[in-house]
Chains A and B, each alone.
Chain A
Amino acid sequence: MTAILNVKNISKTYGTKGANAYTAIRNLSFTMEKGEFIGIMGPSGSGKTTLLNTIATLDSVTEGEIIIGGTSLSAMNEEQLSDFRSQQLGFIFQDFNLLENMSVFENIALPLSLRNTAVPRISATVQQASTLLGISGILEKFPAEISGGQKQRTAIARALVHNPALLLADEPTGALDSTNAAILMETLSDLNKEQKVSVLMVTHDPLSASYCSRLLFIKDGEIDQELHASNSREQFYKEILEVLAGTNERVIAGEAR
């Protein structure tokens, strides 16, 4: 198997001067294989979003190196990073980040038009992606006219339409109710299994996490624990709950001491 993502000893420190400086990530390393579905969990403020943002090239690391699909991010300038994002990465955000002045179709098509894909190709690909996600009936609507679940599926379609090497998601189910969250995770899981899309997802929700193939638990900017998927999702879910309970106990115990 080939590594799609290689995170080597990265650290991220916000601010520069002594009192203001805050190290959100400390000497963190992991490798992601092609086709993996990795979940990142951890308490609030542990550095999950920071980690995702550095991988997403939206933020730079203070130390260490990130390699995606064989390319080191630190070697690229701002423009190259932009191009890299638009070609190699797909994003799903908690609050969807759809452009509300454009129709669902136009939103999904944006990554393709940015690469100047021919119109027939765009139409076909958008059709395909929207059918896959069950939103082909609302393509002409505007984001203000569709539900939260539909918005998130639109966002996924947009993140996938250009066949990115890596799909990044920061709490994609955070703004959805449990039913919509489940539908969404099924979709992501299907995409991962059938289309072999590599997914890296930050989540708080143990149920959403149970769809992943591997989980990284982060604490204070470091990987605290790692968990591989079990035979069944139910089993995995239980294990996740145990780990989370364990972390909580440790926290409480730590405080009591």
Chain B
Amino acid sequence: MILKLSLEGLKRKQRDYFILFTGLIVSIAVFYMFLTLALNKEFITGNSVINHIQLVFIVGIVLLSVITFFYLYYTNAFLLSLRKKEFGMYELIGAKKKQIKQVFLLETMLIAAAALGAGIFLGALLSWLVSSLLAAQLNVEFIAFKVFYGPAAFWTMVYFLAVAYAVSFINNRKLAKASINDLLKAEVKHDPLPSKPKNSALMIFSGIVLLGIGYVALFFMEILRFIGLFAAPAATTLGTYLLFASLLPIIVRKWKRNKKMNFRGLNSFTLAQLSFRLNELKWVLATIAMLIALSAGAIAGGFAFKNNAVLSVDEERLYDAALYNPGDAEEEVLETIALEERLSYRFKMDEEFVYYVEDELAANPPLIVDWVSYETKRPGPFPDNLKIDEDGYQNLGDQWTMALETINPAFSTLGRHRIVSAETFEQVEAEEITIVLARSDKFSRYIEQWQELDRLQLQDGARLYIPMDLEYESLYSKYSTFESQYAFASGTFFMGFFLGLAFLTMMASILMFKILSGANSDIRRYDSLRKLGVRKKALEASISKEIFIVFLFPALLGLLHVFVGMRMFTFVIIDPYYRLWISLLIFLAIYGSYYFFTVHLYRKLVLPKG
């Protein structure tokens, strides 16, 4: 009987349930997508990079589980708030609390089960989309990446059903505590008045100090090392919470004090709403600020790391290619590249030494990097007539030792070089090898050409006279260095991107549902305003403004964290701020669409129709 009634009630609130259902599906999809990536054994072991950073995945799953829990908790509370009045009515006509609890539990589980089906399907679709997009973008292939992955689906189901049970259990206890009267009057409930903040000056002060400590720790992470690693997140988090708890109510209070602003149009109402909402949401908002920092940071970190592959290889290698005895094929490729510089040297190599011609070097000295100033320059004159001491060691000086490394990087480990006159060079009984150094305007512009050059060089290994076994080792070219670094960076990028997206969607959903779950008590207010003659447009604008500010605060502080936090990576990444705007744009796009979605849903929930 009660079940039948409840089903009818469910039908009546169809629209609200649909919203909830959609949100749930999205969260399941994200969870599944993440698990697929984390649990795909063949994929992980097949991708050495991902294999190395599995710890990050585990941390990621833990975080995601926690967020998902709160997400479900809020959606479930939202669900209950929709039905409270109805449940009170059932009690009034004699239904037992136990029956009502069972109905609510059943409803929750049914919704979770239905959402799981759709969510996992969507998740598979998403992981296919994201993985193929990333694979295409990163120029790598994800071998053995299964989109439909059994264990991932299994654990997603287990987790969501367990959490659905747990949260409906918690909410049921709240239901049990409420009297019939409370339930019936649920819709006219008064919000508690925001209490005057105590010690807010002290809280703001310590919040700012803690944030300062956190930022300093982030900034000087390189020096502080271990202490910084602990101090930065702890102090930043604590500072964020303190600031949100103390500063937000004060800001709104200040606004309200400004009479000119407060008594203009609907502002007094909007600000009143805001002051209640910020008071109610301050802990959630602080948490969201931290998660924004984490997710935007992860995306930005991923980008910067990827860029780092190009930057660091550019810094390490001044010449884009060093070609041994280049033939017509190589020359053809070189012609397609806009070369800034092309140098050519001869060398010979016997059992003991590698010989270069003094005049050739002096005539066209290659670029080197100054050890001290890090500037690129050409080496100076040869030291002391290139004397050879009793041990047979020729003193070349730092600059020319480096110059020879630049010319012939593959031989740099050998260490035994001789710079000799043209006559001596002629007398050395060994084959003469030509090495051509090429430098383009931009390495990253001609990746395909460098790859082709490497291939051509490797084709005829005998031509190379390189002291390494090419069957086991890769060519010591700039391209191959780049390739391996890029693979590692891409893995990190993939991780950061994926984690960041997952966090961002989750937390934006939490914010959305937290706001929507309060919508029921607002319906009356907006109806009163409509009766008083407030235009619908003005009501809509008030809602947009109010929710905008709720969304704005965590975004501001979260992004500030990212700006400061990215510096932390300076000791692994050359330019951690590289293309930060792309990450910001991605963040804004996602966060912004959540904002508009929330506003849209909220309007639908609270504004009178017609």
Contacts and interface: CB of A to CB of B under 8 A. Distances in A.
B66 interface: no
Interface in B116-174: none
B260 A119 contact: yes
Interface stretch (A30-38, A42-50, A77-85, A232-240): A77-85
A200 B112 CA distance: 53
Contacts of B264: 113, 116
Contacts of A136: none
Given A82-B536, A113-B264, A142-B193, A58 B272 contact: no
Nearest to B276: A101
Given A85-B533, A102-B269, A142-B193, A97 B260 contact: no
Contact of B268 (A106, A142, A143): A106
Contact of A144 (B193, B267, B530): B193
Interface in A28-78: 56, 58, 78
Interface in B265-290: 265-269, 272-273, 275-276
B460 interface: no
Contact of A86 (B260, B267, B525, B533): B533
B190 A144 contact: yes
B188 to A, nearest CB: 8
B259 interface: yes
A65 B536 CA distance: 24
B535 interface: yes
Contacts of B273: 101
A113 B529 CA distance: 13
B263 interface: yes
B549 to A, nearest CB: 15
Given A99-B269, A100-B191, A142-B193, A82 B260 contact: no
B365 to A, nearest CB: 76
A207 interface: no
A113 B532 CA distance: 12
A87 B263 CA distance: 17
B268 A91 contact: no
A114 B532 CA distance: 10
Chain B interface residue count: which class? 20 to 34
B532 A110 contact: yes
A78 B533 CA distance: 10
B528 interface: yes
A89 to B, nearest CB: 7
- Give the dominant DSSP class at B's interface: helix
B192 to A, nearest CB: 9
A58 B531 CA distance: 7
Nearest to A58: B531
Interface string A134-168: 00000000111100000000000010000000000
Given A58-B531, A79-B537, A112 B276 contact: no
A100 B268 CA distance: 12
Nearest to A101: B272
A109 B528 CA distance: 15
B436 to A, nearest CB: 77
A122 interface: yes
A122 B59 CA distance: 57
Given A58-B531, A101-B525, A109-B268, A78 B536 contact: yes
Contact of B263 (A79, A122, A158): A122
Contacts of A85: 531-533
A119 B191 contact: no
A113 B534 contact: no
Contacts of B524: 97
A221 interface: no
Given A101-B276, A110-B269, A114-B266, A87 B190 contact: no
B75 to A, nearest CB: 25
A113 B193 contact: no
B600 to A, nearest CB: 20
A86 B532 contact: yes
Interface in B316-363: none
B260 to A, nearest CB: 6
Q: Which of A85, A89, A93 has the most chain B CB atoms inside 10 A of its CB?
A: A85
A111 B531 CA distance: 11
Contact of B272 (A91, A97, A99, A117): A99
A82 B526 CA distance: 13
Contacts of A58: 531
Contacts of A112: 263
Given A102-B272, A106-B272, A109-B263, A97 B191 contact: no
Nearest to A97: B528
Q: Which of B264, B268, B269, B530 has the most chain A CB atoms inside 10 A of its CB?
A: B268
Contacts of B191: 100-101
Nearest to A158: B532
A99 B531 contact: no
A147 to B, nearest CB: 15
Contacts of A97: 524, 528, 531
Q: Which of A58, A110, A117, A143 has the most chain B CB atoms inside 10 A of its CB?
A: A110
A56 B537 contact: no
Interface in B502-551: 524-525, 528-538
Given A101-B276, A110-B532, 20 more contacts: A78-B536, A79-B536, A82-B535, A84-B533, A86-B532, A87-B533, A93-B531, A99-B272, A99-B529, A100-B190, A101-B191, A101-B269, A102-B269, A102-B272, A106-B268, A114-B266, A114-B532, A114-B534, A114-B538, A119-B259
Q: Which 5 A-B pairs give the minimum distances between C-beta atoms?
A: A86-B533, A85-B533, A113-B263, A101-B272, A82-B535
7 contacts: A99-B272, A99-B529, A100-B191, A100-B525, A113-B266, A114-B532, A114-B533
Interface of B: 190-191, 193, 259-260, 262-269, 272-273, 275-276, 524-525, 528-538
